[in-house]
Amino acid sequence: MTLETATDPSLSQAAASAVVIDTNLVLDLFVFRDGAVQALHAALRQGSVRWLATAAMRGELERVLGYPRVLPRLAPPGPSAHDVLAAFDRWATVVAPAAPAPVRCRDPDDQPFIDLAVAHGALLLSKDAQVLGTARRVALLGARVARHWPPA
């Protein structure tokens, strides 16, 4: 089963808005196919957003795909773990890990997402309450945090 269609993600990369997408929203995009992220999925396909991630973020996704709550969704006719990782590889631009940002999150697993968003002046998309709670402080550093695409 293929997860993606047509548009070349390299198109319009210079004009694309940079986004960092946390692992839960990646699952919503490519495993759960949540309707709430369809606009983000369309933006990725159209090249109007440039998804920034690190190799460690891909590793976290790979680990999460083995969680008991996720495994049943990876059974046919759903996407396989391989399909989800292939979608990550197709749509994410892998960059070097960012230096620690002055804004700290209580959950160390979320910190790399904040660091990357701040380093690139990007929009961090997350459903995590602790990450969303950093929005005002992250904004002071030139990045944004939002729950939905497009951000309000």
Residue 3 belongs to some domain of the structure? no
- Check pLDDT > 80 for residue 129: yes
Residue 119 belongs to some domain of the structure? yes
Q: How many other C-beta atoms are found inside a 10 Å radius of the C-beta of residue 99?
A: 9
- Tell me the CATH number at 70: 3.40.50.1010
Are 46 and 81 a contacting pair, CB within 8 Å?
A: no
pLDDT in tens, 10-50: 333 444 699 999 999 999 999 998 988 999 999 999 999 99
The Cα 144–Cα 55 span in angstroms is 22
Residue 89's closest CA among 30, 149, 148, 146? 30
User: What pLDDT is attached to residue 113?
Assistant: 97
Residue 130 belongs to some domain of the structure? yes
User: What pLDDT is attached to residue 151?
Assistant: 81
Residue 45 belongs to some domain of the structure? yes
- Specify the number of domains making up the chain: 1
Residue 2 belongs to some domain of the structure? no
Segments forming the whole domain that contains residue 96: 17-146
Supply the pTM of this predicted model: 0.88
The Cα 3–Cα 11 span in angstroms is 19
Residue 24 belongs to some domain of the structure? yes
Residue 1 belongs to some domain of the structure? no
Residue 29 belongs to some domain of the structure? yes
pLDDT in tens, 72-127: 999 999 999 999 999 999 999 999 999 999 999 988 999 999 999 999 999 999 99
